[in-house]
Structure 1
Amino acid sequence: MGSAGFESATKPHAVCIPYPAQSHIGAMLKLAKLLHHKGFHISFVNTEFNHRRLVRARGPEFTNGTLSDFQFLTIPDGLPPSDEDAIQDLPMLINSTRNNMAGPFGDLVLSLGSNPSLPPVTCIVSDGFMTFATSPVASKYGIPLIHLFTIPGCALMAVKHLRALGEKGLAPLTGHSYEHLRVFSDYTTHFLPFDDFARICMHADEFQLTSGHGNTPIDWIPGMKNMRLRDMPHFFRVSSSDDTLINFTIDSGHKTDDATMTIVHTFEALEPDVLQALSSMIPRVYAIGPLHLMIDQIAREKVFASRHIECNLLEEHNECLRWLDSKEPKSVIYVNFGSIAFMSHQQLVEFAIGLANSNQCFLWVFRPDSVNGDTTTLPKEFVEKTRERGFLSGWCPQERVLCHPSIGGFLTHCGWNSTIESLSAGVPMLCWPCFADQLTNCKYICDDWGVGLEMDANVKRDEVERLVRELMEGQVGKKMRRKAMEWKERAEAASSEKGSSFMNLDKLLDEDPLTMMSVASSKNALNLKITTSLTVEENIRYNSFAT
């Protein structure tokens, strides 16, 4: 297969299904575009809930002009259609998708494979956190399963070792009560509603994770150096081993063996040690990224039919780009805490006054639902001080913003899409991680890659002011900016036509489908009948969908 494209008259057919959250959808769509460019027919599966969000954000015509060989499909997820915020309640989202998606996804794949007007289904490209729906279907029908992890290799490795934390007595956290968590509610509500505090402490049990316990060395994970307990994904910070989030995450980390091949959205030069360690644990691991740079590379050199296809759940506002055009180079700090994370009203005030007192220009992406349970009223002092040097936006085209010459820094939650886009643009970061892999990402940003400064979870205006000034004007900020530019060059090299990421994509596509079927069948104890008079693609259809 490879870069020369497919010579067969019958296109290979990839069914792509992301986890139903903005960053996961965006990364999967980019991979789907790359596969389409390589000759695949794409069936991209969204949930009905997110399809409604897409219609609200992009209009009912968002799929108009979609190519005949790039189709969007939907399946139910069980989320209430009237609750626009349901996707931000992770326990609800996890339980609903696990209970409602597997059956409809199997029916959809069967329907696609039985449709004579479509190419046979060649593979399922599944988000690494969608295995509860995709693994049974791939096993039942003997279809090769490709996992896409939209987190870095370091976070995937950490996730695979969460169970070991419990085995070593490091999790779940114990010894402090629900009443204790109530006291610190303002400083632990970055993400979950207040009622979930009894189960999960988002940043720290003040006495356990900010004391010696949080600094407990985690020196037994392959490929990861100088890790502390507090650097592990937040899912271990629970009071019960029955918690939905930690069990879902552990299960996902241990289902990597279900995949015929695994893609990690990273690049080899960024994480050589951990990628090497992963390759000894997971068969056929490929570092492919940054995905957006790979798409840009193709678009610069060749006709790229699917480039216009987008799938943003939030409406983007481009006015901020014109505002950035009026600013001096490297003079603006970009502030965005992602599509899900919450903050309390007091945290909002601390960030606002800190930004105002820093005297720096800023572009702040501020979702209407950013503040948990409170009105999003900004302090009058902030509005008066920043009228001429600040811009607030509901959402924005982040890749274009980070590449704008006026951007000099990024105050971020350390989500992986934001992190890899910032590295690709050569922009240093102020880190305020909220949950999930963001804590691990933060550790690598600051300690391993040398392009970030960590902000205390208990955010205070004086620290915001000091760190923003240091990033934008100080010697430490200048050093990090130089380091960030080095990572930009390495990211561009990896995503060049002859770079490691395109080479890995071609290696993945050059895998023999017959071998892929054999691997999948041996893992799942299926007895596939291979008919020599049929093509490999016809065999996949014959064995998967014959009734």
Structure 2
Amino acid sequence: MDLQQHVLVVPCPAQGHVKPLIKMAYNLAYHGIKVTFANTEHVGGKILAAMSESDKEQCPIRLVTYSDGLESSPEKRDGPGMMDDLKKVMPDNLEKLIKQINDSDNEPITCVIADLSVGYILEVARKLGLKQVAVWPAGPGSLALSLHVPKLIETGIIDENGSPIGNELIRLSEEVPALKSSELTWSCPGNPTVQKMLLDYSLDVKQAAENASIVLCNTYYNLDSSSCAMIPNVLPIGPLPAIKKLNPSSGTLSSQDSTCISWLDKQPANSVIYIAFGSTTVFSQKQFNELALGIELSGHSFLWVVRPNIVNGSFPEYPNNFLERTAARGKIVEWAPQEEILAHTSVSCFFSHCGWNSTMEGLSHGVPFLCWPYMWDQFFNKNYICEMWKVGLSLEHDEDGMISRHEIKTKIYDLLTDDGVKTNALKLMENAKKSVNEGGSSYENFKSFIKYLEA
């Protein structure tokens, strides 16, 4: 009798990484692969706290934890040096975990599937004689950019610290949107130490990607075939949300406020602006005020996700009487079941930070974007959304570096009256559905991945 295949899935310990990998893990389990999902103790505790009892009972994968080594310095978990700290302890702790599982389990681990952000874990798999598969939870364009770092240095476009040498736009190919020097994924003007750290991270990602036998990516081939062509061994299997219906709380690190769905049920079709900026975006209080007043000036109903830590240094404070003035047409929650919201008929557009998970979820539901990127790959994603796919509009800063309330009001109006953008969004939704339906590119790629695991 053949031994059942048993994979260990290891995400980077952050919301934007855990959620897509847990979706992929559920899909593997539904296809008969035994899956153990390894989180840090800190992240694992948050996931369990956010899951309902029925979610826990029906969970098709085994959740395990390991130490991130930061128990005595928890403040480092949100700092720029977290990746360096993880790299020091994670390989040894994962090796111990694999050996513990294999000593106690009749079906030992046969493959490690690691987030490329912690891609050095694949060296542990190689050392133990296991299959090594990488996952890139962001877009293929940002991975192609990491793979091009040495060439960008060699050709004098950036220096060895990642700073652009000139002011020209940076282009990986004619088919890929150009980047301004300030939009590079490692760019951190004014903080050369953090920028060098992020550049080194990109180089680590490059090395792990080139060493992996397969690089799974949450995209579909036709969405960005040019970037996919630049990545060795890439296997697009997205959009992950559409492969298999999952319980909405799967993989979230915060409790979701499901009352917003019943609120949406009472709103007319295409009437609500959904506003959510992910788990890391931070505003100044002044900018937060402009955002609130811009939403109010638009005159539209809105559903707004406002984390307690969305304002730098304190809890967010709303402009005077804003909550009272907008109570009849607005709902504000701390965290929300985003995919359910984007699938709702009352939602007209997605006011977003353009993180890749949000980008794929919006594309999967044919929702136009209003783009306000914050950091990392979000600027690159914004360029795809606005320039290449033409499914959204971006906001422009004023001379003081602010996004004004009037800019927000104007762009909301422009977006919601642009029939071309909505038409393009619906086309991409149909393409996304085709890719994951039987015979589609992502469907076939996922089938071939299952065969690779079972071989």
Q: Given that residues 275 and 302 in structure 2 are in contact (C-alpha distance below 8 angstroms), is that contact kept between their aligned partners in structure 1?
A: yes
- Equivalent residue of 2:296, what SS? helix
Q: 1:435 to 1:485 in 2, by over 3 A?
A: same
- Equivalent residue of 2:220, what SS? coil
Please report how far the alpha carbon of residue 467 of structure 1 lies from its aligned counterpart in structure 2 after TM superposition.
0.8
Deviation per CA, 1:376-398: give whole Å up to 9, x if none: 11012422331211110110100
Question: Equivalents in 2 of 1:159, 1:224: separation in Å?
Answer: 14
Please report how far the alpha carbon of residue 23 of structure 1 lies from its aligned counterpart in structure 2 after TM superposition.
1.6
Greater displacement, 19-28 / 241-250: 241-250
Structure 2 portions without partners, runs of 5+:
none
Deviation per CA, 1:287-327: give whole Å up to 9, x if none: 1011110113xxxxxxxxx8688221011001111111111
1:25 matched to 2:18: yes
Please report how far the alpha carbon of residue 13 of structure 1 lies from its aligned counterpart in structure 2 after TM superposition.
0.4
From 441, 445, 448, the equivalent of 1:504 is 445
Question: Equivalents in 2 of 1:512, 1:55: separation in Å?
Answer: 28
From 50, 53, 77, the equivalent of 2:43 is 50
The percent identity for this pair of structures is: 28
1:63-462 correspondence runs (5 A): 64-65=56-57, 70-80=61-71, 83=74, 86-89=76-79, 91-115=80-104, 117-132=105-120, 134-171=121-158, 214=167, 216-221=168-173, 224-235=176-187, 237=189, 239-240=192-193, 243-278=196-231, 282=232, 284-296=233-245, 310-457=250-397, 458-462=402-406
Q: 1:160 to 1:424 in 2, by over 3 A?
A: same
Q: 1:403 to 1:499 in 2, by over 3 A?
A: same
Q: Given that residues 235 and 249 in structure 1 are in contact (C-alpha distance below 8 angstroms), is that contact kept between their aligned partners in structure 2?
A: no
Please report how far the alpha carbon of residue 9 of structure 1 lies from its aligned counterpart in structure 2 after TM superposition.
4.8
* AA in 1 matched with 2:101: L
Taking structure 2 as the reference length, the TM-score comes to 0.92
1:481 matched to 2:422: yes
Q: Given that residues 47 and 254 in structure 2 are in contact (C-alpha distance below 8 angstroms), is that contact kept between their aligned partners in structure 1?
A: yes
Question: Equivalents in 2 of 1:348, 1:51: separation in Å?
Answer: 31
* AA in 2 matched with 1:88: D
Please report how far the alpha carbon of residue 164 of structure 1 lies from its aligned counterpart in structure 2 after TM superposition.
3.6
- Equivalent residue of 2:117, what SS? coil
Please report how far the alpha carbon of residue 112 of structure 1 lies from its aligned counterpart in structure 2 after TM superposition.
2.0
Bigger CA radius of gyration: 1
Deviation per CA, 1:79-98: give whole Å up to 9, x if none: 33784x65432x13212211
Question: Equivalents in 2 of 1:315, 1:467: separation in Å?
Answer: 31
Please report how far the alpha carbon of residue 497 of structure 1 lies from its aligned counterpart in structure 2 after TM superposition.
2.2
Please report how far the alpha carbon of residue 38 of structure 1 lies from its aligned counterpart in structure 2 after TM superposition.
1.4
Q: Given that residues 50 and 249 in structure 2 are in contact (C-alpha distance below 8 angstroms), is that contact kept between their aligned partners in structure 1?
A: no
Taking structure 1 as the reference length, the TM-score comes to 0.77
Q: Given that residues 173 and 236 in structure 1 are in contact (C-alpha distance below 8 angstroms), is that contact kept between their aligned partners in structure 2?
A: no
Alignment root-mean-square deviation, CA: 2.6
Q: Given that residues 186 and 198 in structure 2 are in contact (C-alpha distance below 8 angstroms), is that contact kept between their aligned partners in structure 1?
A: no
Please report how far the alpha carbon of residue 340 of structure 1 lies from its aligned counterpart in structure 2 after TM superposition.
1.4
Size of the alignment, in residue pairs? 450
Please report how far the alpha carbon of residue 513 of structure 1 lies from its aligned counterpart in structure 2 after TM superposition.
6.3
Deviation per CA, 1:411-432: give whole Å up to 9, x if none: 1000000000000000000111
Deviation per CA, 1:160-217: give whole Å up to 9, x if none: 223444444444699xxxxxxxxxxxxxxxxxxxxxxxxx9xxxxxxx99xx955x13
Q: Paired residue for 1:3?
A: none
Q: Given that residues 10 and 113 in structure 2 are in contact (C-alpha distance below 8 angstroms), is that contact kept between their aligned partners in structure 1?
A: yes
Q: 1:81 to 1:489 in 2, by over 3 A?
A: farther
Q: Given that residues 231 and 443 in structure 1 are in contact (C-alpha distance below 8 angstroms), is that contact kept between their aligned partners in structure 2?
A: no
- Equivalent residue of 1:157, what SS? helix
- Equivalent residue of 1:334, what SS? strand
The structure showing larger relative contact order (alpha-carbon pairs under 8 Å, at least 6 residues apart) is 1
